[in-house]
Chain A
Amino acid sequence: MTVFSFVFKRFFKGVANIAFISIIPLAAIFLPLGEWHPLPGGFQYYGIIQLFLAARLSGIILEDRSNKTLLRIGAAPISHFQYLFQNTLAYSLIMLMINLLFVLGGVLVHGEVLINPGILLVLYTFFGMLAISFSLAWFSLFDNKEAAFSVLTGLAMLMAMLGGMMWPIQAMPLLLQRTALLLPTYWLAEAILRLAGGATISQLIMPIAMMLLFSIGFIFLGSRKRLF
């Protein structure tokens, strides 16, 4: 599990990474309730933070490709699957840890306003996996880290806006409302709204299943390109 353990070492050595995971989620915890969303602002927008965090994490694979270490890894007795699996597992654990701290922080700051934090954590966990697989699929299209990141930033914001993370989906034209169903961000926003409306876990199966399906699809797309 060398690749797995070195993901932690490499990620937490980056000052920008440490700043990102400590400042942004912390700041988000303290955002107050918005006008239309039943949850505090940070919990409404946390999906966007997850998309950017996943991009930072998955950027490690892109770095391996651009600094040619992937060639050396390809010459080592480690399969393509093992390499991808160990990377993805490490990213998922880091994401899960940050999700956990974020939700715990939310409970401390907002108390009962944060409806059903346990299920909220489950939703963020599924979306975290989706965000990682989306980043992997996205980065498989690029060899250059800067180009991949700059386009991804715009794309993530667009997905968040069209997916109903920033304003009610009903505020958009009907065509866009229908298009939103094809966006993974929609299913997180929808699940959170349902949860805030008092839904039980069984009533969230549809959005969770959709997030899972998106994850599988993106993982498939991301792993199709042979890295070595």
Chain B
Amino acid sequence: MTIVHMKDIVKRYGNQLVLDYVDLDMVEGEILGLLGPNGAGKTTLIHALIGLIKIDAGDIQVFGTSHKGNSLDIKRQLGLVTQDISIYEDLTARENLEFFGGIYGLKGQVLKERVAETLSFVGLSEYANKLPAKFSGGMLRRLNIACALVHRPKLLIMDEPTVGIDPQSRNHILETVRELNRQGTTILYTTHYMEEVQSIASRVVIMDQGHVIAEGTIRELVERIQHEEKISLEVAEVSGELISRLKKLNGIKQVIQKGNELQIISQVGAGNLDRVLAIAREAGGVRSINAEKPTLEDVFLTLTGKRLRDGEAE
């Protein structure tokens, strides 16, 4: 079931066209990874989805309801994890959650229970009565996420939620995202860390210069863009005959020798891995073999001409 339907979204700031007839759909229960270089329009698209900015043209429907005139009803079902840590430094972790739960209409015993559950969910129960000034970077990020979860949104929008934290905290947050998704929350996730998207997203949308330039599952995107795979092979002895036999295989484009190591570029889907291995064994034995598949990073680079982490967050 489609829960977000954005159609022909246009947003201008002065003469600058930030969103250029963008379409975006989200299906209930998915984790959608939104990728794009700086200035691609990701944050503007998110702000339009939440109703923080007015769009110049297009239509946004969330949970089947148009944003026009129904913003507050839609907002009740959304949660926003901001790129910057946006919490109150002068309130404890518990009070922060009470505030953000309160503005979503929670009160009394329900609010108390939700706050306790959410603190426990992000692993901050022990620090409930502590001020954020005493928190590590990872704990601040978790509190930042908790503030968006306390009202149990159906759709959670996470804008670069792991910027500037250690790998352990990042893993904790990614596991939290997976668990939320298992519990039924639909998640829109933007990040500069490609490995995060590869690890959690069920579908990916790539934006550049205000356009959606590609979308699909990671597998679909990789298959669409890349037509080659690289096989790295270390053998006991390299001979001219071995290289010649490898080059004759159907779909092999190039064989590069570096000492006892051979790099073989093959057409994707040619099924050459087994054949290469068999030939190398006959020629004296294989020390190691590694078949490298194209990654999402390669897809991104091919489509945008930029590396995702060239710059800071948008």
Give A residues with C-beta under 8 Å from B: 2-3, 5-6, 9-10, 13-14, 67-69, 71-79, 228
Contact = CB atoms under 8 A, between A and B. Distances in A.
3 pairs of A and B residues whose beta carbons are closest in the complex: A2-B102, A68-B86, A75-B80
B100 interface: yes
Nearest to B105: A77
Contacts of B76: 77
Given A9-B91, A9-B95, A69-B88, A77 B52 contact: no
Residue among A2, A10, A73 with most chain B CB within 10 A: A2
B50 interface: yes
Contacts of A5: 102
Given A77-B76, A77-B104, A79-B72, A10 B91 contact: yes
Contacts of A6: 91, 95, 99, 102
B124 interface: no
Contacts of A73: 103
Interface residues of B, number: 28
A68 B82 contact: yes
A67 B86 CA distance: 6
Interface of B: 50-52, 72-73, 75-76, 78-80, 82, 84-91, 95, 99-100, 102-105, 147-148
A78 B52 CA distance: 12
B52 A13 contact: no
A14 B91 CA distance: 10
Nearest to B84: A68
B187 to A, nearest CB: 15
Given A13-B90, A67-B86, A68-B86, A76 B75 contact: yes
Nearest to B144: A72
Given A2-B103, A3-B103, A72-B80, A77 B87 contact: no
Given A75-B78, A75-B80, A76-B75, A67 B105 contact: no
A71 B82 contact: yes
B91 A77 contact: no
Nearest to B153: A75
A67 B89 contact: yes
Given A75-B78, A75-B80, A76-B100, A228 B52 contact: yes
Nearest to B88: A69
Contacts of B51: 75
A69 B85 CA distance: 8
Contacts of A2: 99, 102-103
Contacts of B75: 75-77
Nearest to B89: A67
